[in-house]
Chain A
Amino acid sequence: MAHSSPAPSRALPRLKSVVIAGSAYVIALIFLFPYVIMLLTAVRPQDTLREATYLPSAFEWSSLVEFWSGGLAGNLVVTLQVAAGSTLLVLLVALPAAYYTSRHNFRFRTGFLFLVLITQMFQPTAMLVGIYREFFQFGLVDTVWALILVNGGFNLAFAVWILNAYFSSIPRELEEAAFIDGNGRFGTLFRITLPLAMPGVVTALIFTFIAAWNEFAVALMLTTTPANQPLTVALNSYIGQYQVDWQGLFAGSVIATIPVIILFALIERKVVNGLTAGSIK
């Protein structure tokens, strides 16, 4: 192979790559724009919202401070617990199931995968009456555990399926070779299979974390004490029937979103690294 340089830059004429880069920038800016608005509105005094200026004439940082003093920090902790707990639950439960179904042909294999998929057909909003009654029986209403269980359960199907797809894409021969080379069953699993499936694991992880972080409808019904509510529900109180506290809402939204973006930024590199390092060549 004479061409060891990255394929795209070599394969494309100069103009084309400029167009691609340019459109990538434009699209990215459009998609980032709501964030700009969110940030600007968060620090723009509420009474100057009607001024037809693009940039605030005055900045008011107090809204960001009020987030912490107003008790929303506790809701942020709840959100963190729910997101981390559900992600852990999903990975612990989905990994063995996905691995086994990708490697073994057993009688209920297809049936199992179907059943898992079918759980995706149900939406928590339609099942809220049953969910509420069930958790009430176990004294879990208005607790973090209820939210962890619901978010974990409703995101399990996606994790099982995506992990199954990734495990299936790893050639069995690789595992066999590693096994013959003297790696034990677990050595093969942890040194060969899991690293190769890492992009899938990370995708499942990000997906579950974000879904649990952002969940709204179930938490709205299952948590009644303000201190036990995740951030999405707590922020909802800024939207009044006749008036919206845009400044407070967006200040809270900014703070709610920053940790996730940082997490994403850290993980995104891992995804790409995992792919380039462990790609099947």
Chain B
Amino acid sequence: MTHTPAAPLAGRVRHARPRATRRGRGRPLLYLLPAAAVLVPLFGYPIYMLGLLSVFDYRQAQVSGGEPTRFIGLGNYATLFGDERFWSILLQTLVFAVALVVVTLAVGATLAVVLTRAGRWPRLLLSLAAMAAWAAPAMTGSTVWMFLFDADLGLVNQVLGLDGFNWFYDKWVAFGVIGATVVWHSFPLVMVTLYAGIQAIPHSVREAAWLDGASEWQSFWRIILPILRPLVTIVVIQSIIWDFKIFTQIYVMTNGGGIALQNSVLNVYAYQTAFGSSEYGLGSAIGVVMTLILLVITMFYIRALYRTGERL
């Protein structure tokens, strides 16, 4: 084994799949260290604090020094799991996230295909609309949609003739309006990524499918999607994660979670518990639960990927 650093690529021509070589041992550090240098301090200590606070009785009194910080073990978790509100918020977080992921992916993928099929001007306008939605800060996007659905001033009520109908009173109607806002914000990423992917597929492949008589529907499911699997993977993971920890839209549009937190999701609930009620320990426990759920979802997804033989 006399690999010289000067000829790594030439040597690789013969080996179909290179193994880890002895020579390359120090090199990963050089390439990966910058990323580690950003991630480790930025996540290490705050995660440590998150776990630590979740097993302590840590409220306003402890922050101001009025009462001693007390270790209560899993006390915060016990409080949480005994609270009916926690379970209902957990359930609606999951339902809302799944609905958002499905709708976002459907809208994004459909529009990506439409983009490849549309002519110059509709494509330009559609791209512009997507860019505009993407570019809008979640905060301002939320306020525009809130204004559109405003009971007194909103255009939606004006057009539909629903005078004074409050879209944010009923829990699921409110979720619908918030969901539309979230999808408006999040479909562009799916659309742009998949469109870029479709464009990168060699013309000859699509041509062959067309010559073989494949329909649009077939060529999407049988050709485009399998080729783009790595990209689709990322887009799906991203959508799940984002839609699960949605915050700004709910916080802004329902004024912090709605009447009695009826439109709250775990993220808003954690924030409200920690910073609204100064229950930092309990809020951290919610944060831990939420993080664990996301970890489980991701693990399932990664396992599914391995089963399909996808190289990570």
Report Cα–Cα, A152/B38, bound state, in Å.
8
Given contacts A97-B31, A121-B291, A127-B49, contact A7 B200 (CB under 8 A): no
Using a CB-CB cutoff of 8 Å, which residues 173-222 of chain B contact chain A? 184, 189, 192-193, 196, 199-200, 202-204, 206-207, 210
CB-CB under 8 A for A34 and B267, given A104-B18, A180-B10, A185-B9: no
A153/B39 in contact, CB under 8 A: yes
Say yes or no for A186: interface residue by CB 8 A criterion.
no
| B138–A28 CB distance below 8 A | no
- If A21-B122, A29-B129 touch, whether A106 touches B192 (CB-CB below 8 Å) is no
Contact of A275 among B199, B238, B287 (CB under 8 A): B199
With an 8 A cutoff between CB atoms, is A65 at the interface?
no
B178 CB to nearest A CB, Å? 14
Give A37 Cβ to nearest chain B Cβ, in Å.
6
In the complex, the chain B residue whose C-beta lies closest to that of A10 is: B210
A105-B19, A268-B127 known; A168 vs B230 contact (CB < 8 Å): yes
In the complex, chain A residues 131-172 whose Cβ is within 8 Å of any chain B Cβ: 131, 133-134, 149-150, 152-153, 156, 158, 160-162, 165, 168-169, 172
B248 to A217, Cβ gap below 8 A? yes
Q: In the complex where A20-B118, A34-B148, A232-B140 touch, is A257 in contact with B132 (Cβ < 8 A)?
A: yes
- The reply to whether B144 and A127 contact each other, CB–CB distance below 8 Å, is no
Decide: A280 and B247 in contact? CB cutoff 8 A.
no
Please tell me if A67 contacts chain B, counting CB pairs below 8 Å: no
Closest chain A residue, CB of each to CB of B125: A28
Chain B: interface residue count, which band? Answer: 35 or more
Alpha-carbon distance A231/B138, docked complex (angstroms):
12
Query: In the assembled complex, which residues on chain A have CB atoms less than 8 Å from the CB atom of B137?
Result: 213-214, 216, 231-232, 253, 256-257
Q: Which of B232-263 contact A (CB under 8 A)?
A: 234, 237-238, 241, 245, 247-248, 251-252
Judging by beta carbons under 8 Å apart, are B284 and A253 in contact?
no
**Interface membership of B172, Cβ < 8 A:** no
When distances are taken between beta carbons in the complex, the residues of chain B under 8 Å from A109 are: 28
Q: Interface with A: B68-76, B80-88, B152-160, which one?
A: B152-160
- Number of A interface residues, CB 8 Å? 117
Complex CA–CA separation, A17 to B116 (angstroms): 11
Contact indicator per residue, chain B 89-126, by CB within 8 Å of chain A (1) or not (0): 00000000000000000000001001111110111011
Judge whether A107 and B20 touch: CB under 8 Å: yes
Which residues from A are CB-within-8-Å of B10? Answer: 176, 179-180
User: By the criterion CB–CB under 8 Å, are B202 and A281 in contact?
Assistant: yes
Known: A20-B122, A125-B247. 5 other contacts (CB 8 A): A7-B207, A114-B302, A119-B39, A126-B270, A165-B234
Q: Judging by beta carbons under 8 Å apart, are B138 and A3 in contact?
A: no
7 contacts between A and B (CB under 8 A): A32-B125, A37-B148, A105-B18, A134-B41, A153-B39, A180-B10, A281-B202
Q: Could you list which residues of chain A lie within 8 angstroms of chain B, going by C-beta atoms?
A: 1, 3, 7-9, 11-12, 17, 20-21, 23-25, 27-29, 31-32, 34-35, 37-38, 41, 49-50, 52, 54, 89, 92-94, 96-97, 99-101, 104-110, 112-123, 125-131, 133-134, 149-150, 152-153, 156, 158, 160-162, 165, 168-169, 172, 175-176, 179-180, 185, 188, 199, 203, 206-207, 210, 213-214, 216-217, 231-232, 235-236, 239, 244, 246, 249-250, 252-253, 256-257, 260-261, 264-265, 268, 271-272, 275-276, 279-281
Minimum CB–CB distance from A20 to chain B (whole Å) comes to: 5
Query: Whole-angstrom distance between the alpha carbons of A260 and B12 in the complex?
Result: 43
In the bound complex, how far is the Cα of B206 from the Cα of A3, in angstroms?
Answer: 12
CB of B68 to closest CB in A, whole Å:
18
Task: Assess whether A104 is in contact with B28, with CB atoms less than 8 Å apart.
Answer: yes
B139 at the interface (CB under 8 A from A): yes
Tell me which residues across on chain A come within 8 A of B1, comparing CB atoms: none
Check: B34 CB closer than 8 A to any chain A CB: yes
| A123-B245, A123-B267 given; A176·B28 CB < 8 A | no
Q: Is A165 a contact of B230 with CB atoms below 8 Å?
A: yes
Are B9 and A32 in touch, CB under 8 angstroms? no
| Given contact pairs A94-B35, A97-B31, A203-B196, A281 touches B204 in the complex (Cβ within 8 A) | yes
